[in-house]
Chains A and B, each alone.
Chain A
Amino acid sequence: MPWSKFRQDYAAPTGGRPLSYCAAIREAIDQAMRHDPRVFAIGLDADDKFGVFGSMANLTHPERVLGTPIAENAMTGVALGAALSGLRPIHVHLRNDFLLVAMDQIVNYVAKWQDMFDHQVRVPLVIRSIIGRGWGCGAQHSQSLHGLFAQVPGLKVVMPSTPYDVKGLFLAAVADDSPVLFLEHRWLYKNTGDVPEALYTLPFGRCARLHEGESLTVVAASLAAVHARLACETHGLDVDLLDPRTIKPLDIDGIVASVQRTGRLLVVDHDFPFGGFAAEIVAQVAERAHGALRQPPQRICFPDRGMPASGVLERAYYPTPDRLAAAMQAMLAGELVGGGHGF
């Protein structure tokens, strides 16, 4: 199947129509399955009557959607084996916390299979997972583990924030001959934006500029990008807001170029701080553009502890657009933000 002919760059969508994030991902899955008979979806409750929060409802090929028992580790191996046998599996998880049960297969098998055999084989496997949080779900049902997975060589980690990106990047993930971890935040599902009807793929490793400014570079992905954009727009901040869209590969050139203009860097990351995605960006910018920094770079992450359940604690635990705005304003005023990890 010639997936290459669908390549599209990040031009503003033309000929699109408004679609929700959820509908965009659904359309991508449906088109991938219609376009390529090797594509199938598998996962616990992948075939449930809710269609995975609507993202897989009423697909053209329900016969290629397979439910599984609670057996995430083995099912990851099954998906890998199918990928090594010529299929293009989409392994679906309702929450990314469940991926941890499959860590052995993901880290030791899926991520390593190509490196171990010097890339003689293709591993066209998409592991798709929804990130959830809120309503007292607590420490085991609210994590966003992109930083952990990005640390492992051999995995691409994609977390789009807009309907246009989610469709194009999902199709790119299916078209990719290496493993891709595709993370969708549940809170983005209702957001709408213009999405072309045709099948298209978008390139990995290219930032989107969600807000233009000259005085502070803010890097944020997925829901954090949407919150950061809201903060910039509500308060009219002079911020250059970059959404990396793919955590790995990372558009570090785009980020560095921005920091060289603004002289300031803030990373907003909905993940744990220690050794995480935000830390990685700060480290790479320090290596590449130390001289351009007018202020120590700052991070806003989750606190370095598991998620609490009580509503009052949840609301304090997660950074809000208002708190992001306050942090950006403080940096723009020349103040330091947190203690170096989290805010």
Chain B
Amino acid sequence: MTRTTTIDRADVTWLLRRMRLIRQASERIARLYPTDVMETPVHLCIGQEAVPVGLCRHLRDDDKLFLGHRTHGPALAKGLPLPKLMAELYGRTTGCSHGYGGSMHVIDLEHGLPGSSAIVGGSIALGVGAGLAAKLTGASWIGVSYFGDAATNAGVFYESLNFAALRRLPVLFLCEDNGWSNVMPKSAHSAHDITGVAEQMMPVLQADGTDALSVYEHAGHAVERIRGGGGPMLLHCRTKRWMKHQGPERCDLAANHIDPERDCPIVRLETWAQRSGMLGADECTAITAEIEREIDAAIAFAEASPFPQPELVEV
């Protein structure tokens, strides 16, 4: 690929805001979680923020993004309003799934989020279906299947790529490779090289999943090519999971070779933005403070929202 994706101040501000939103919301969730106000398992995305934002900056509201269990980051990046996510975690009627879904099952039809699944692998096929629908109806959206490294062990990964490639469907396969399947490292769960498998069927790009600019650039190429009728692609983003698989606890960062400065997608983008003169230090600080206020408001909204009526599920 020879073209370079351009990036301007608006893009950088957007990337930083969304990453801050994901990070600060996740940290707040982690802080509140032990008080049991959120009765639902949470798979947090701290450290992995670059991947969803770099991707979603190139997606339109009608592009359809299908997620697995680790929903918060990509859902917020795609446009799910934070109050609706928070209210869902609080089990309220105003949540994006009206309290029926919980953390792993989020939806936002306005922003091209037709739902997410907690059975690993299956939702990869759904993005292919969205691509097929675009092709059959002449619609201009693309389908995006968003999944982790371990989902590539399921047969449905291969089957989905194969079909998408055979039909040249407008589908982006986005592998957010954090190197873990719960407590199992990739070396224990994958004999294959994910990009190697995909390359037999479609063009593959690789981005640094701790660097929003890298993901932004490669996702830009991929989305442009797919939208232009070039057929499916896989974008592989290697990133780092700072949190335990589920719940509010951090991993032992040092033991996992994570340097919270070097590997932090937010620090990286802020440093770059300030050095290149895109954003001033005061602007970055202002974003952090603004987001904190948004989170306060989202939590207040969730707390003030009603619980669903239990009669709805009693027969």
The interface stretch among B182-190, B212-220, B253-261, B262-270 is B182-190
Q: Name the contact of A316 in the complex, choosing from B38, B101, B119, B310 (C-beta under 8 A).
A: B310
Expressed in whole angstroms, the Cα–Cα distance for A100 and B117 within the complex equals: 14
Residues in A65-112 with C-beta less than 8 Å from chain B: 67, 69-71, 73-74, 97-98, 100-101
Expressed in whole angstroms, the Cα–Cα distance for A341 and B315 within the complex equals: 8
Q: For residue B165, give the distance in angstroms from its CB to the closest CB of chain A.
A: 21
With A136-B103, A137-B102, A139-B105 in contact, is A48–B182 under 8 Å at CB? yes
Expressed in whole angstroms, the Cα–Cα distance for A276 and B248 within the complex equals: 38
Expressed in whole angstroms, the Cα–Cα distance for A137 and B91 within the complex equals: 12
Chain A neighbourhood of B181, CB < 8 A: 69-70
Contact A303 B41 (CB under 8 A): no
Chain B neighbourhood of A140, CB < 8 A: 104-105, 117-119
Residues in B174-228 with C-beta less than 8 Å from chain A: 181-184, 188-190
Expressed in whole angstroms, the Cα–Cα distance for A316 and B150 within the complex equals: 35
Chain A interface size, as a band, is 35 or more
Q: Name the contact of A311 in the complex, choosing from B91, B95, B101, B311 (C-beta under 8 A).
A: B91
Chain B neighbourhood of A13, CB < 8 A: none
Chain B neighbourhood of A137, CB < 8 A: 40-41, 102, 104
Bitwise, A308-322 to B at CB < 8 A (1) or not (0) is: 111111111100000
Interface size on B (CB < 8 Å)? 42
Q: For residue B106, give the distance in angstroms from its CB to the closest CB of chain A.
A: 11
Residues in B33-75 with C-beta less than 8 Å from chain A: 38-41
Chain A neighbourhood of B311, CB < 8 A: 316
Q: Name the contact of B183 in the complex, choosing from A48, A69, A341 (C-beta under 8 A).
A: A48
Chain A neighbourhood of B150, CB < 8 A: 69-70
Contact A138 B313 (CB under 8 A): no
Across chains A and B, the number of contacting residue pairs, with CB separation under 8 Å, is 125
With A315-B310, A316-B310 in contact, is A136–B91 under 8 Å at CB? yes
What is the predominant secondary structure among interface residues of chain B facing chain A?
loop
Contact B102 A310 (CB under 8 A): yes
Q: Name the contact of B39 in the complex, choosing from A100, A303, A310, A339 (C-beta under 8 A).
A: A310
Contact A74 B91 (CB under 8 A): no
Does B151 belong to the interface (CB within 8 Å)?
Answer: yes
Does B277 belong to the interface (CB within 8 Å)?
Answer: no
Contact A69 B121 (CB under 8 A): no
Chain A neighbourhood of B120, CB < 8 A: 70
**Other contacts beyond A45-B182, A71-B153, A313-B313: 13, CB < 8 A:** A45-B184, A71-B155, A138-B104, A141-B104, A273-B315, A309-B88, A309-B97, A309-B101, A309-B103, A309-B105, A310-B92, A310-B95, A316-B310
A-B contact pairs, 9 of them (CB 8 A): A48-B183, A48-B184, A67-B184, A69-B154, A138-B118, A310-B91, A312-B307, A313-B100, A339-B315
| Residues of B near any A CB (own CB < 8 A) | 38-41, 88, 91-92, 95, 97, 99-105, 117-122, 150-151, 153-155, 181-184, 188-190, 307-308, 310-315
User: Which 6 A-B residue pairs are closest in the complex by CB-CB distance?
Assistant: A309-B102, A136-B40, A310-B91, A316-B310, A310-B99, A69-B153
